[in-house]
Amino acid sequence: MAVSIKEIARMCGVSEGTVDRALNNRTGIKEETKKRILETAEKMNYRPNHLAKALATGHTKTIGVVCFNIIDSFFSSLIEVIENTAKEQGYFIILILTKSKKAKELEAIKYLAERKVDGLILFPAVKGTTYANMLKKLDIPIVTIYNRISDDFIHIDTDCASIMSEAVSFIHSKGYDTVAYLDIDLRGDIPKDRNVYSFGERRKGYIRGAEECGLTQIIFDGFDKDRILEYIADTPGKKALLCAYDTFAVRVLGLCRQHGYKVPSDIGLMGYNNMDVLDDIYPRLYSVDCNIRMTGRIAFCSLLAQIRGQKDVGDSKIECNISYGESL
Amino acid sequence: MAVSIKEIARMCGVSEGTVDRALNNRTGIKEETKKRILETAEKMNYRPNHLAKALATGHTKTIGVVCFNIIDSFFSSLIEVIENTAKEQGYFIILILTKSKKAKELEAIKYLAERKVDGLILFPAVKGTTYANMLKKLDIPIVTIYNRISDDFIHIDTDCASIMSEAVSFIHSKGYDTVAYLDIDLRGDIPKDRNVYSFGERRKGYIRGAEECGLTQIIFDGFDKDRILEYIADTPGKKALLCAYDTFAVRVLGLCRQHGYKVPSDIGLMGYNNMDVLDDIYPRLYSVDCNIRMTGRIAFCSLLAQIRGQKDVGDSKIECNISYGESL
DNA sequence: TTGAAAGCGCTACCAA
DNA sequence: TTGGTAGCGCTTTCAA
């Protein structure tokens, strides 16, 4: 159906090699022949077949992106940046969403390998040596983001622990006597190979921050309305709630509204990720701006560097900062 | 590097064809030979090369998705559904984001065609016969979503006009005397080949609805703070503002808060799309729930039907409804 | 400057 | 039940 190099060659009375030279402006071809070939190609509406090219050259100019979901605006923003950056460099992305399911993640990686993607950007929901070994055997450049797998894989993210600990002292510096932490449920029932690195780091940061500020540690494992309300009602003095991510903070905001508590006068509130939507919510929540743009760009660039065989590629800690709000 | 069918064949002392029969469990192979081959394949950690397979068979089991962005949660949700549905059916998606730029959209389509995607799901930002002809020449199954290109391409979406007109009478039925419409700026300066079908339909719906209810038509072209505030301040009676999409409505909410207007007592408000985040915003905005899940599934299934050569595939109007809120 | 041909890894068809 | 082989459309190398 589609016209191939072979036909162009036949039509121009030259060999396939010559057509290839013309089409990909390689050297060793007479200007005149080249022109003639290009004209016929144009006229015949020639379109290269990327599959054949990829099979012959061994690279697809495609990277696989394996992520949890894109409903969460943190991930969608990040992936948007990755896509943009990749495109600028002539790379396409195959996107696979795993809903944080181990089986889906493993399958995704397997299929992407079969498709010979040049590299992989992974938001891993899995960890462990079996997993790591499988990835190594793939022999594909990999960059991890958000959750870390091991030191064998380049990891790009903000230093969650540090910024979270900064967040605690920031809140403390605003005169709060108590700073509780609302986290996902990180207690025992998590499978050994479930990767919750990012949340783990954030919690470490909270703990470290609380220690440094001499604050009592209060951690809520999961969004438990009653315990949160109790905390607001029963804690004496100025109290705040630091959340492991914005969505929790926004939900707490709703809870407060329902129960007649005012933010920040009854309870100070701070999130993490600085989702775009915070700009549209009142009061504007304090949050941690994770510098998504930079994270995405660096993730892709580190991957590209690996693809190009650079040996000195290493992890990157992305700078981030506390974004302004009215909730403290 | 990677082990190929050829090597498995050599190791097992059979032909490539036989290995192929074993690997893809085709008929015409002795159970014993098959077992032996599969074992060696397993042992050698054989992984099929999808590129070669695609080149040989002529289909890639990949579809291209060309969309504006995934920052907007309406699109990201839709794409998440499309990705999920595609994966269920063994298809992968290459995602290209265009920021509604014509050049980017055209390039995206060209590259996806070179990559021999089996089909295309397009959120078009372009229209016109030149464009339509280019698409037809591609000879790839296409489904359009959100914006329509022409009757030559299957289009999946809710009936924006009808539901928007319903929205007007819904608001009217709640006792509002005036219903204004906040839209994107659709005045003259839009290029002829810029596709704004969806917004156009919505506006038509507003106009029709206003006519049917005997309401004066008031349309704001673009988010103009001053005109909106003026409208709220100067309009006598019970007034509402219907927005062409949620983001506008959320912004109006912010504007009202800034200026001390209460929703719905000072002004009724309604959006369109029913973004997830509305659940976290107070007051809960009335909106149009576009049934994203259904839209995404049907879009992919229609594409798949086309890919499979079904001839009776046609447009689908997705049912949608007004979601409950407290803003009217 | 050009041609010829081998190969990339797989599928599919015809013979044996 | 199996083998052999000609493609798929391109790149790349060696020779002319």
Task: Check residue A2 and give its pLDDT.
Answer: 86
Task: Check residue B186 and give its pLDDT.
Answer: 86
Tens digit of each residue's pLDDT (9 = 90 or more) over B259-312 = 999 999 999 999 999 999 898 889 999 999 999 999 999 999 999 999 999 999
Tens digit of each residue's pLDDT (9 = 90 or more) over A227-271 = 999 999 999 999 999 999 999 999 999 999 999 999 999 999 999
By DSSP bridging, strand B154-158 and strand B316-318 are parallel
Give the residue whose CA sits closest to C9 at C1': B52
Q: In this model, does residue A43 exceed pLDDT 80?
A: yes
CB contact under 8 A, B94 and A94: yes
Q: What is the 3-state secondary structure (H, E, C) of chain B?
A: CCCCHHHHHHHHCCCHHHHHHHHCCCCCCCHHHHHHHHHHHHHCCCCCCHHHHHHHHCCCCEEEEEECCCCCHHHHHHHHHHHHHHHHCCCEEEEEECCCCHHHHHHHHHHHHHCCCCEEEECCCECCHHHHHHHHHHCCCEEEECCCCCCCCEEEEECHHHHHHHHHHHHHHCCCCEEEEEECCCCCCCCCCECCHHHHHHHHHHHHHHHHHCCCCEEEECCCHHHHHHHHHHCCCCEEEEECCHHHHHHHHHHHHHCCCCCCCCCEEECCECCHHHHHCCCCCEEEECCHHHHHHHHHHHHHHHHCCCCCCCCEEECCEEECCCCC
Across the range B15-41, mean pLDDT stands at 94
Task: Check residue B189 and give its pLDDT.
Answer: 79
Mean pLDDT of chain A: 96
Share of chain A above pLDDT 70, in %: 100
pTM: 0.96
Task: Check residue A236 and give its pLDDT.
Answer: 96
Q: Which of A71, A135, A137 to mutate to test the interface with B (most CBs of B within 10 A)?
A: A71
Task: Check residue B49 and give its pLDDT.
Answer: 97
Q: Which residues in chain A have Cβ-Cβ distances shorter than 8 Å to B71? A: 73, 76-77, 80, 276
Q: In this model, does residue A1 exceed pLDDT 80?
A: no
Across the range A71-88, mean pLDDT stands at 97
* Amino acid identity for residue A83 in this structure: E
Task: Check residue B188 and give its pLDDT.
Answer: 75
User: Under a CB-based contact definition with an 8 Å cutoff, are residues B60 and B52 in contact?
Assistant: no
Tens digit of each residue's pLDDT (9 = 90 or more) over A101-158 = 999 999 999 999 999 999 999 999 999 999 999 999 999 999 999 999 999 999 999 9
CB contact under 8 A, A80 and B71: yes
Task: Check residue B2 and give its pLDDT.
Answer: 86
Tens digit of each residue's pLDDT (9 = 90 or more) over B157-199 = 999 999 999 999 999 999 999 999 999 998 877 899 999 999 9
Across the range A198-217, mean pLDDT stands at 98
* Distance in angstroms: CA A8, C1' C13: 27
Band the pLDDT of A189: cuts 50, 70, 90: confident
Task: Check residue B316 and give its pLDDT.
Answer: 97
**A260: burial class by Cβ within 10 Å (0-12, 13-18, 19+)?**
exposed
